[in-house]
Structure 1
Amino acid sequence: MSADVDVLVIGAGQAGLAVSHELTALGVEHVVFESDGVGAAWAHRWDSLCLVTPNHTIRLPGGEYRGPEPSGYLARDEIVSHLRAYAESFGAPVEAARPVTALTPDDGGFRADTPAGAVRARRVVVCTGAYQREYLPPWTEPLAHRVPVVGSGEYRSPASLPGGPVLVVGGGQSAAQIAEELCGAGREVALAAGAAPAMPRRIAGRDGVDWLIDAGFFQHTLADMPSSTVRLAPNPLATGAHGGHDLTLRTLAAAGVALSGRVTAVDGDRVVVADDLAASVAVGDEAYRQIWNAATTIAAERGLRGPEPLVRDESPLVATAPPPLSELGAVVVACGFRPAYSWIRVPDLVDELGFPTQDRGRSIRIAGLFFVGVPWMTSRRSPLFMGVGEDAAIVASQLAA
């Protein structure tokens, strides 16, 4: 085919930039299309967002963290600055404000439609992030007619919400972090929580993530997991805000957040919740213990200073019904994100969960199409700063060959 570019990379976040770095090193002609600007997915999150993994886990090829706080947690704007400096460091050929609205197979290659016109590429690497579409449960539609509903992707700060009590819905990191921030700002907060593992922020002076790295946690592959649905499971609750600290359902309750079970429906003025708070707390408690015990074992095996025996108050938490809708100022829905690849016009491109069917980044449905930044592409760390570079190298080597 006659092509405008050999390789088109779509997305200029950590995945797209890592691919661009590796292609540049291998001398492969390419261009990076980005719908907004470098690191835009991070720039559009809430104001106080921080990394939940230590800075030293930023291991982009040629863009490793080299700052003065390897055990700290970069704030949102610092993450964006790091990515922009990374792109500049090797002259990444990024064309900003160039969204790809459709990608279609065309004469042995691909046609990428953009508002500025179509571009033909022999091969394409899709790096549009781990998740692209915020998930809003069906009950949010009738709820929005009664009270302002804000997705976690829209939330910016406590001051950005209307006055009055706030109901946060969700069981993952975003829901817990937003609930903690709202409570710390003096807002009355209720959290309709789901089940998620909890992680000790520090064990024997080391970050919990460092112990998990030693335990091989991030090297798990999808084949190691009991079900492929792990790709939609919440990550361990953690926060890097204010220097990092434990963030669990128990710490939220102690701070004054009213907890309940999952939202199941909206009935008139009432938010209906399940009687499952105890089960969700138990999931967090068990994960917390497992990580602590793993650190104890690793320390003994390696001659490191190990933690003291774990002592925690694991008494039952009291569930409190969410406030009536008529009393709420806003509802923040943080129920996670889902993949979105309908803009790629390839039949059977994705599996039953909406993720691309791929082998080491190469689409198994059509030649010349690759993915990087996909959850569990090769391992648990595939979309993370600590692992995306390795996946980028895998795909770049295939393209160079």
Structure 2
Amino acid sequence: MSVEMFKKHYPVVIVGGGQAGLSVSYRLKKKGIEHLVLEKRQILNSWKTQRWDSFTLVTPNWQCTLPDHPYDGNDPKGFMNRNETIDYLERFAAKVDAPVLENVAVERIWKREAGGYHVLTSKGELSCDQVVVASGGYHQPIIPRMAERLPESILQIHSNQYKNAAQLPEGAVLVVGSGQSGAQIAEDLHLEGKKVFLAVGNAPRVARKYRGKDVVEWLDDMDYYKMTVDKHPLREGVRDNTNHYVTGRDGGRDIDLRKFATEGMELFGVLENYDGACLTFRPDLKENLAFADSVYNNINTRIDKYIVEQGIDAPEESHYKPVWEPEEERDTLDLAGSGITSIVWCIGFRPDFTWLDAPVFNGRGTPVHYRGVTQAPGIYFIGLPWLNTWGSGRFSGIAEDSAYLADTIQQNVVSTTTTEVA
């Protein structure tokens, strides 16, 4: 697309060329609303560059329901791997054929006196009436400042840089964080024969299968995925929840950190500090493992209740009982003596919306919205966790979210005709 596009004023600008931004583009094209997608790198960039080699979806393939683009493979109850997921998304991108400018970073968006918004980019300036922020909420990899004090000989990478065990040096590895990425990366390294130390946080876990079906199927039957934020017991607090760890690898299975411990993985509590010789951890390993198991069993109890209420004939299954308990809370680890030569930080990301100069954030810098619609005229968000439902940050909810936003945008369209910027 030509540089002349930067001389234009657009009815809508979409910031971000991932599945969320492409979904909104698809909806707007259907409605005949002119728009432009700005992507800092390449479309679907994070899927192509920030997933490890053995990555699989943790939700079944049948939940992949982008707008008019459902999963069409032959394994709906399976879990697409990295390459299959990218192929699914690339076919969606080809179907959308969005008006996108790649390698164009948005540096600032602010209000125009004439109405609408200025959009300053790395390649020039344009303006628009409405803005859709579709860049997600995972922008800045979190690595604690204590990392600066670790020996230079220790290779440190973030989870978004991890590909496989071969990229790490010989020796043991410390994985910090036990959310979805941390648990799966620890498993990957463990299966590859690496000596793994894992700093376990308070992430919950969930069973892969229970009483004859994938737990996701049970929760879908129970209408959990239809629950909206305003109906959830935690209300907007649910947006801060850590994802449950489980895996779709090898057809799908539980991730049981206790089992890994019986096989030689060494578990600790939350990593707190490095004193120049030893890593120090909170003495909360037992507590964190117990919490994860309590969530696991609580979900299964809810499924049991549903089965009874509906009179469903399902095979009986007992609840999880720990296969390992730490004998003592170890809160220090001699770094040199442990043989650790690399660290994979798996403690998440911080959002960065500093480029958006608009009164749409709370005191923590988090967007305030209802179903992605903010109080600032013409500014919207999509692709955030629990934007409206559990599926909002996943492939299962974007179709509904993008349809709602497109309808709202259509109601607020100033003009569908591109004009020169005055």
Matching residue's letter, 1:96 = E
Asked if the contact 1:197/1:288 (under 8 Å) is kept, the reply is yes
Name the SS of the counterpart of 1:211 in structure 2. Answer: helix
Partner of 1:111: 118
What is the identity percentage for the equivalent residue pairs of Structure 1 and Structure 2?
34
- 1:303 is displaced (CA, Å) by 4.0
In structure 2, distance between residues paired with 1:320 and 1:177: 23
- Partners in 1 of 2:133 and 2:75 — Cα distance? 32
Q: String of CA shifts for 1:121-169, please: whole Å, max 9, x gaps.
A: 1111010013222222232222364622211111111111122100001
| 2:374 maps to amino acid | S
1:165 aligned to which of 157, 161, 172:
172
Structure 2 residue aligned with 1:373:
383
- CA deviation string 1:55-75 (max 9, x = no partner): 100111111111101011111
Structure exhibiting the larger radius of gyration computed from Cα positions: 2
* Paired residue type of 1:168: V
Contact 1:258 1:320 in 2 (8 A): no
The alpha-carbon distance between structure 1 residues 324 and 216, as it changes in their structure 2 partners (threshold 3 A), is farther
The reply on whether 1:54 has 2:60 as its aligned counterpart is: yes
Give the alignment's Cα RMSD to 1 decimal.
2.0
Given candidates 44, 69, 88, the residue that maps to 2:75 is 69
Task: Give 3-state SS (helix, strand or coil) of 1:399's partner.
Answer: helix
Change (3 A) 1:322 1:305: farther
Instruction: Find 2:351's aligned residue among 323, 339, 362.
Output: 339
Aligned equivalents of 2:272, 2:385: Cα separation in 1: 28
The 2-side partners of 1:144 and 1:307 are apart by 53
Contact 1:167 1:331 in 2 (8 A): yes
- Partner residue of 2:127? 120
Per the alignment, in what secondary structure is the counterpart of residue 62 of structure 2? Answer: helix
1:360 maps onto 2:407 in alignment = no
Report if aligned partners of 1:40, 1:80 keep a CA contact under 8 Å in 2.
Answer: no
Q: 1:184 to 1:316 in 2, by over 3 A?
A: closer
2:184 aligned partner, one-letter code: Q
Contact in 1 for aligned 2:137/2:352 (Cα 8 Å): no
CA contact 1:32–1:93 (8 Å) conserved in 2: yes
- Residue 296 (1) aligns with residue 304 (2): yes
CA distance in 2, matches of 1:229, 1:143: 35
Say which SS state the counterpart of residue 390 (structure 2) adopts: coil
TM-score, normalized by length of structure 1? 0.93
State the alpha-carbon separation in 1 of the partners of residues 284 and 46 from structure 2: 33
Q: How far apart are the structure 1 equivalents of 2:266 and 2:133?
A: 41
- One-letter code of the match for 2:102? A
Q: Secondary structure at the match of 2:29?
A: helix
Query: Quick one: structure 1 residues 90 and 360, their matched pair in 2 at CA, closer, same or farther if it must change by over 3 Å?
Result: same
Q: Name stretches of at least 5 consecutive residues in structure 1 with no aligned partner.
A: none
Aligned length: 398
1:335 shift after superposition: 0.5
Instruction: State the distance in 2 between where 1:230 and 1:129 align.
Output: 17
Q: How does 1:276-355 map to 2 (within 5 A)?
A: 276-314=284-322, 316-318=324-326, 323-326=333-336, 327-346=339-358, 348-355=359-366
Which runs of structure 1 show a deviation greater than 4 angstroms over 4 or more consecutive aligned residues?
319-323
Q: How does the TM-score come out when normalised to structure 2?
A: 0.89
State which drifts further: 10-19 or 104-113: 104-113
Q: Is the CA contact 2:280–2:333 (under 8 Å) kept in the aligned structure 1?
A: no
- C-alpha contact 1:204 1:308 (8 A) present in aligned 2: yes
